[in-house]
Each structure stands twice: as structure tokens, then as C-alpha cells.
């Protein structure tokens, strides 16, 4: 399951890796320059107007946009909020899947990890959404959700065309990402001191979160992902000591036949979407609402000791030392 050597060097923006190779996927994989419209106007509103306000359960709720010029001030707010609202649901938007690893693999699970690994190492994060809630599932007052926009260039960066087309239709403005997007290295440094990672009392919530956490670990460590899945889980457990994957939990329920996506599960559980699909802020809020609805329906509101902590859907069973 090795991959790597010939897919680029630091000079063209791609990480270098160990020996082996990968195969590109057909159907529109570009290193830039071939993606159509970037969508939207090429200007940012003033900092104080960078939110989208929605009605939710009779209250106003804001999803706030974060670019490079308001990163520090918004992270300072999050540092304060996470002390009370310690459940962080998250979602990422990234430029698709462009490669498959070549070689022999120990199992289909190993193949899934190596596929994740080579794509996360090759590609760049576009958006991260985080939504903060307390242990009762109540969102932080006013603005519980932040949508971070990262530097991404359709000219210089690699992507799968169908993924970019979907994101453009969902309202993502790639010209602004190129000009005003957050540098991932700067974000990694900021996240390290945010109180969101390396903290036992913070609960991270995802839905089928392998790629989400892969991209976060890449920017936190400033290195390619580990070659072995077991080492990936050790890193995950260190930076994110308490992780729930909603899809894993749902599929492991006794008698469960669930095979759908987040929107389907949310609908089944009566969780309400706020904001547009396929944007990280809205998806992170829906992930939170779905998690708490699932916890209430199947776990009587208590899930922490259920054996589901630290396991990601579609990957291995996690780091066996995660409870030690």
C-alpha cells in the first residue's frame, strides 16, 4: 500500500512521499486552470457583516465567515466559547478524490486509509465549519458556528472538477479563496493554541469524518499523514482525545441497516438544517443537531461510555490505547 514518490515536490505545492506510486482517477482531475466559473462577487463585506443569520427554534442563529483578515479575532471568541460549549461538530469541504494508491493492501480497510492518505497529502482544504454546543445540545448564543475559508487557487492547486462544480453551485467563491483565504500553516498555529485540540474535555463530532480529521491533522502537524493507519489513530487520539463519528455510531446500533448520508439521517431523526447544503458551516450545525438527536433517541442522553469514542466510520477500530 505504498504511494508517493513521483507525484510532485515542494516546489509545485505537493508533498513528497515515500516510494511507490498512485493512479490518477479519470473524469476531470486538474492541476488548475480548467475549472469554469468561480462564482460570486470578488469582494468581501466589512468584518462585522460577515455572517448569515437564520431563524432556529425561535432564536436568531449566525454562521460567521472567517477569512485571513478576521481569523485572530474570531478565534479569540471561540477560545472563550469552548470553555462552556465544549462539543464541537465539524465538517470540511475539500477538492474531491483525485488518486488511488497502487500496491497490495492488508484489507479493504487498509485500502480505504491509504486512499485517504494519498488524497489528503496531495490536496488542500477549502473550508472548515465548526459548530459549538454544550452538553445539553444547546448551541452557543447568537453565533455558534464559524466557517473558515482557506487559500485555494483553481490555477495552481489540484482538484477533481466535479467536486469544484458542486462547491461553486453551493455558493463557494474561489476568487475570494485565492485572494483572501486563510493560509493553512497560519491556521494550524492558531488552532494549536485555541483550546479546541489537545484537550480531554472537548468533544469533537463528525459524520464519516476520516477526511475531515485527516486534513486537520495535516495542518496541525505540518507533515504528510502517517504511512500506517495505527499511527494515524495515535495522532488523532493525541490531538482529539474525544471523537464521535455519527455515521459509525448509527451503523453499529443493534439492528441498524443505515447506509445513507448526513441529510438522510438528520431527516430520519427530525434534525433541522440551517443554511445551504455543501457548505461546511451548515453541515457542521446539522452534524451537531443529528448527534444530539441520536444520543437522545438511542442512548438516553448519555453516550460517553458507550465504546464509540475515537472510532471513525470506514477506517479501523481506532487506537486500542485510546482509553488508557
Write out pLDDT tens, residues 258-268. Answer: 888 999 999 99
pLDDT of residue 10: 29
Residue 16 lies in a domain: no
Cα within 13 Å of Cα(300), Cβ side:
2
Residue 269 lies in a domain: yes
Residue 161 lies in a domain: yes
pLDDT of residue 20: 42
Residue 34 lies in a domain: no
Residue 13 lies in a domain: no
Confidence of residue 303 (pLDDT cuts 50, 70, 90): confident
Write out pLDDT tens, residues 171-202. Answer: 999 999 999 999 999 999 999 999 999 999 99
Residue 143 lies in a domain: yes
Q: How many domains does the chain have?
A: 1
Confidence of residue 256 (pLDDT cuts 50, 70, 90): confident
Residue 264 lies in a domain: yes
- Three-class DSSP category at 188: helix
Confidence of residue 42 (pLDDT cuts 50, 70, 90): low
Residue 23 lies in a domain: no
Q: What percent of the chain has pLDDT over 70?
A: 82
Supply the CATH number for residue 86's domain: 3.30.420.10
Domain that holds residue 76: 50-299
Contacts 24+ apart (CB under 8 A), 140-145: 140/81, 140/84, 140/85, 142/60, 142/61, 142/62, 143/51, 143/61, 143/62, 143/63, 143/64, 143/77, 144/61, 144/62, 144/81, 144/85, 144/285, 145/61, 145/62, 145/63, 145/64, 145/281, 145/284, 145/285
Write out pLDDT tens, residues 75-91. Answer: 999 999 999 999 999 99
Q: What is the mean pLDDT of the chain?
A: 86
Amino acid at each position: 500500500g505504498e504511494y508517493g514518490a513521483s507525484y510532485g515536490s515542494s516546489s509545485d505545492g505537493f508533498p513528497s512521499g515515500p516510494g511507490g506510486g498512485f493512479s490518477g482517477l479519470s473524469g476531470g482531475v486538474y492541476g488548475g486552470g480548467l475549472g469554469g466559473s468561480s462564482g460570486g462577487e470578488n469582494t468581501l463585506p466589512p468584518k462585522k457583516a460577515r455572517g448569515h443569520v437564520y431563524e432556529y427554534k425561535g432564536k436568531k442563529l449566525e454562521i460567521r465567515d472567517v477569512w485571513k483578515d478576521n481569523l485572530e479575532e474570531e478565534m479569540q471568541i471561540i477560545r472563550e466559547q469552548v470553555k462552556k460549549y465544549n462539543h464541537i461538530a465539524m465538517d470540511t469541504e475539500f477538492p474531491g478524490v483525485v488518486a488511488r494508491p497502487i500496491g497490495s493492501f492488508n484489507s479493504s480497510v487498509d485500502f480505504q486509509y491509504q486512499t485517504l492518505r494519498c488524497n489528503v497529502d496531495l490536496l488542500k482544504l477549502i473550508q472548515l465549519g465548526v459548530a459549538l454546543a454544550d452538553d445539553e445540545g444547546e448551541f452557543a448564543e447568537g453565533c455558534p458556528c464559524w466557517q473558515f475559508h482557506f487559500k485555494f487557487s483553481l490555477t495552481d492547486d489540484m482538484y477533481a472538477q466535479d467536486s469544484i462544480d458542486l462547491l461553486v453551485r453551493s455558493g463557494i467563491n474561489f476568487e475570494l479563496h485565492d485572494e483572501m483565504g486563510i493560509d493553512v500553516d497560519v491556521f494550524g498555529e492558531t488552532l494549536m493554541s485555541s483550546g479546541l485540540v489537545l484537550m480531554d474535555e472537548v468533544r469533537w463530532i463528525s459524520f464519516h469524518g476520516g477526511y475531515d480529521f485527516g486534513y486537520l491533522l495535516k495542518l496541525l502537524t505540518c507533515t504528510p499523514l502517517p504511512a500506517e493507519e495505527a499511527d494515524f489513530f495515535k495522532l488523532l487520539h493525541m490531538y482529539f482525545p474525544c471523537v464521535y463519528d455519527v455515521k459509525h455510531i448509527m451503523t453499529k446500533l443493534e439492528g441498524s441497516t443505515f447506509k445513507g448520508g448526513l441529510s438522510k439521517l438528520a431527516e430520519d431523526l427530525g434534525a433541522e438544517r440551517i443554511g445551504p447544503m455543501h457548505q461546511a458551516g451548515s453541515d457542521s450545525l446539522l452534524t451537531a443537531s443529528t448527534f444530539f438527536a441520536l444520543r437522545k433517541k438511542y442512548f438516553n442522553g448519555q453516550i460517553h461510555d458507550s465504546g464509540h469514542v475515537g472510532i471513525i466510520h470506514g477506517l479501523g477500530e481506532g487506537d486500542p490505547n485510546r482509553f488508557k
